[in-house]
Amino acid sequence: MTKENTGMQKTILHILLTLRGPLLTQSSSPGQLGLDVVIARNHKNQPYIPGTLVSGKIRQAMEELQNAIENENKPDWFGPELNNWLGQASENEVAKTKRLFFSDFVLNGDDPSTLTRYRIKIDSKRGSVDKHQLAMIESPFVSGEHYSFSGQVHFFSSRATSEKINLHLKAAIKWLSHLGALRAIGFGQVEQADVTDIEMHAILTPKPTETLPSNRIGLCIQPAYPFCLPGKSGITNLFESESIIPGAAIKGCIATTWNHLLDRQSGRINNDDIDRIELRQNFSKLRISHAFPSHIINKRSVVAPLSLVKTAKESHCYDVARLNGPCLIDGLAPDFAVDWKDTKETLKDYPWPYLRFKDWGWDSMESELRIRTAIDREQLRSAENDLFAYEQIIPDNKRWYSELDLSQIDQQSRGEVLEQLKTLCGQGLIGLGKTKTPLQIHFTDTIQPVVANKPKPIDNNLWLITLQTDTLLGSPETLDEAGGVKELCTMYQQAWHEISAGKLKLLRYFARQRLSGGRHRQKLMQNRGNSYRPWLLTEAGSVFVLQGKEDITDLIALWLYQGLPITEAAVQWYRLGDNPSQYWQYTPFVPENGYGEIAVNLQADNVIQLTDADKIEYIKNGVDR
């Protein structure tokens, strides 16, 4: 049971901007042949004004209002907290979170007919048209006509802070004079700006509960707007988004929303939220798995194993994990995923697209590229050498499925923690990725995977462990540029021996590795006067064939629900400290953030399992090499 808390709330302001044509918000995407400048359109082909542009203009308006108002005539209510509300530059390479999220402002009504305007550059010496300086501009907005654009501003705060933000935003939007490009020649004149509606949703206060919840709770996550969660990028000013939402990102959104509700960023209030003491004490013990997009309702996608192969003659897959050695299939050498060709089932929206199959639950994703630039504050124009781009994933009402694990929390506190978390997330969250996108999070029953786990040993006490997320597995201390297969195999053998207490023996593996780190993470997590050590991650899809010396079904079940633990060798190598509950301070790749997730003995209906015992049946004309 819950009751309303009058001090915490989510606010959504609906803003209507009416502009007089002509106007132009320039797109970074190419348009029709011959056009030099095209207007910005979203994935639904609707003209829009970017929310980042409106946010920047509101910041400029507040600064101008501050300068225009003399101290003795300054209203008592006016005092914008620009850095808190609208963000600020990073300090010591640590990003600063802004409170307000601005959606794009989309054109109301039908798309106007496409027209073209022409601009030329004048030669200053001759006073005539300069050569090769004709520009063709898409301009569907007719001069003198009025066009309205609707958008929203989302934020979490106390009720008092919400009222203050509302007053300042109303003043700022009425101060706006022009929006978009070519303002110097009259484009984008703002005729009217109004807050048309204000939604205020109270955050409920949790009440004590004696109900003992299940250890595992399903989570359905739906981002409200396009988001950018950068993966590994080879270009410093291009941020390519992942389609998978890490558990660490979800926990970060929870923490960000919580801080906003407590007004901690303002620096005035030191509120520890006495209604959520149990949640605060156990927050690091919450395990939230990565959220996978799925096109199957209430089913979670599964990463296919790297032990799958195909042949040139057949489209279906074989799993060779159980074979003791290589072989031919139908007289042909099998191809692993690295050599597969694109098919109609191929999804290119993920790392290693061939391991994300449609029939294993994975949904196809659409993305769009937004090119942005920093602004020169003195000249009020684009700054030089500060161009950057975001590739954004378009959610488009798709669902991401995750899981909440409460098993590390004491039973007497588990019900309280869940109740406090549900009320905190009841109005959604904010702060996803670089775009700080709001998202809704729904608590459901346990969500089953599309391809079921089989947590019982295979013949001869074999276990096939497939990593579902990148995993910090073992210490790379003995690996260097002179090392090879032998050293890597030794690392994995030691890792599995350690985490299984000697009960499992590694027979073979199919794995990929990558390094993760960079200057930001080194400064944030490893800057303790020691040498920099990037994390060696074993990638999702990697398969380990293990043989048990005894019945370890309970241990496998524990890993299945809680993720693989970090080995002591990795703890020592990466200097993670002595307290496992504090490892997250020194590396993001902890099980509580969703890393180390596994699948056990995967057997999909459309995958043929090859074994040494039935080679004659399945491997016609096959010859062991």
pLDDT at residue 288 above 60?
Answer: yes
Q: Is 623 helix (H, G, I), strand (E, B) or coil?
A: coil
The CA distance from 624 to 271, in Å, is 68
Q: What pLDDT shows up at residue 2?
A: 44
Whether residue 231 sits in one domain with residue 170: no
Residue 94 confidence (pLDDT) = 63
**501 has a pLDDT exceeding 70:** yes
Last residue of a domain, one of 404, 421, 451: 451
Alpha-carbon dihedral of residues 334, 338, 343, 345, nearest 10 degrees? 100
Pair 116, 38 in one domain: yes
- Calpha distance 597→589 (Å, rounded): 11
Is residue 481 scored above 70 in pLDDT? yes
Give the dihedral of Cα atoms 493, 496, 498, 499; nearest 10 deg.
170
Secondary structure class of 253 (helix, strand, coil): helix
361/418 same-domain check: yes
Q: Please state, in angstroms and rounded to a whole number, the distance separating the CA atoms of residues 542 and 508.
A: 11
Please report the pLDDT score of residue 4 as a whole number: 43
Q: Which residue has the higher pLDDT, 431 or 266?
A: 431
In a domain, 313, yes or no: no
- Residue-level pLDDT at 133: 78
Q: Is the pLDDT confidence value at 1 over 80?
A: no
Hunting for tokens 């605060």 — which residue is that?
280
Tell me the C-alpha distance between 382 and 375, whole Å: 5
pLDDT per residue as tens digits for the range 101-115: 999 999 998 877 777
Q: Does pLDDT of 188 surpass 50? A: yes
Q: Is residue 572 part of a domain?
A: yes
Q: Is the pLDDT of residue 293 over 60?
A: yes
Q: Is residue 610 domain-resident?
A: no
Mean pLDDT of the chain: 87
**Looking at the domain assignment, is residue 619 inside a domain?**
no
Helix, strand or coil, per DSSP, at residue 581 = helix
Q: How many domains does the chain have?
A: 3
Q: Token pair of 533, please?
A: 């050590």
HEC string for 513-565: EEEECCHHHHHHHCCCCCCCCCEEEECCCCEEEEEECCCCHHHHHHHHHHCCC
Q: Is 285 exposed, middle or buried (0-12, 13-18, 19+ CB in 10 A)?
A: middle
Tell me the pLDDT tens digit for each residue of 316-343.
Answer: 899 999 998 888 888 889 999 988 888 8
Q: What are phi and psi of 99, to 5 degrees?
A: -90, -40
Q: What pLDDT is stored for residue 10 in this prediction?
A: 94
CATH number assigned to the domain comprising residue 297: 3.30.70
3-state DSSP assignment of residue 338: helix
Alpha helix (H) residue ranges in 274-390: 277-282
In 3-state terms, what secondary structure has residue 355?
Answer: helix
Residue owning tokens 């700054």:
383
**Sequence letter at residue 116:** T
Domain's final residue, options 205, 223, 251:
205
Q: Smallest Cα–Cα separation from 356: which of 453, 454, 244? A: 244
Check whether residue 285 and residue 428 sit in a common domain. Answer: yes
Residue 194 has pLDDT above 60, yes or no: yes
- Give Cα 72 to chain centroid, integer Å: 47
pLDDT score for 395: 94
**pLDDT for 525-557, tens place per residue?**
666 666 788 899 999 999 999 999 888 999 999
pLDDT of residue 624 exceeding 50, the answer is: no
Return the closest-CA partner of residue 20 out of 175, 129, 158, 147.
Answer: 147
* Highest averaged pLDDT of the listed ranges 86-90, 238-242, 380-384, 467-471: 467-471
Considering the domain architecture, whether residues 259 and 195 belong to the same structural domain is answered as no
Assess whether 123 and 101 both reside in one domain: yes
What is the mean pLDDT of the segment spanning 247-254? Answer: 96
E strand intervals along 159-302? 189-206, 216-223, 238-239, 287-288, 292-294, 299-300
Give the pLDDT score at 268.
Answer: 54
pLDDT for the residue numbered 3: 45
3-state secondary structure of 388: strand
Written as six digits, the tokens of 213 are 């919840």
Q: Tokens for 380?
A: 């009020």
- Pair (270, 291) in one structural domain: yes
What's the mean pLDDT in 428-438?
A: 93
| pLDDT higher than threshold 80 for residue 73 | no
Within 8 A by CB and 6+ apart from 244, the residues are: 229, 290, 291, 292, 293, 350
What pLDDT does residue 280 have? 93
pLDDT digits (tens, 9 = 90+) for 599-617: 999 999 889 989 876 554 4
Instruction: Tell me the pTM.
Output: 0.90
Specify the pLDDT at position 69. Answer: 80
Q: Residue 326 falls within a domain, yes or no?
A: no
pLDDT of 623 above 50: no
Look at residue 196 and tell me if it is in a domain.
yes
Identify the domain containing residue 150 by its residue range: 1-205
My answer on whether 530 and 580 are in the same domain is yes
435, pLDDT greater than 80:
yes
Say whether both 573 and 473 belong to one domain: yes
Please state, for a pLDDT cut of 70, what percent of the chain lies above it: 91
pLDDT tens digits, residue range 506-529?
999 999 999 888 776 677 666 666
pLDDT at 472: 94
- How far apart, in Å, do the first and last CA atoms of the chain sit? 66
Confidence band, pLDDT 50/70/90 cuts, at residue 380: low
Cβ-proximal residues to 268 (8 Å cutoff; 6+ apart), any chain: none
> Stretch 163-180: mean pLDDT, rounded?
93
| Confidence band for 270, pLDDT divided at 50, 70 and 90 | low
Average pLDDT on 235-244 reads 84
Q: Which residue is listed with tokens 């786990």?
A: 453
Cβ neighbour number for residue 411 with a 10 Å cutoff: 11
User: According to DSSP H, which parts of 69-158 are helical?
Assistant: 82-86
pLDDT at 560: 94
Instruction: Summarize pLDDT for 93-145 with one digit per residue, the tens.
Output: 566 778 999 999 999 988 777 778 877 777 777 777 777 777 788 888 888 88
Q: Are both 227 and 279 inside the same structural domain?
A: yes
Give the integer Cα–Cα distance in Å for 97 and 87.
6
Give the C-alpha separation, 32 to 54, whole Å. Answer: 27
Class of residue 496 by CB neighbours under 10 A (exposed 0-12, middle 13-18, buried 19+)? buried
Structural domain ending residue among the three candidates 451, 469, 485: 451
With respect to residue 625, please indicate whether it lies within any of the assigned structural domains. Answer: no
Whether residues 182 and 221 share a domain: the answer is: no
**3-class DSSP assignment, residue 184:** helix
Determine the average pLDDT of the residues in 345-363. Answer: 86
For residue 615, tell me if it sits in a domain. no
Choice among 58-62, 269-273, 321-325, 352-356 with the minimum mean pLDDT: 269-273
Structure tokens at 576: 């993670």
Helices (H) and strands (E) in the chain, counts: 11, 28
User: 385: Cβ–Cβ under 8 A, 6 or more apart, which residues?
Assistant: none
Whether residue 440 is found in the same domain as residue 494: no
Q: How many CB atoms lie within 10 A of CB 166?
A: 17
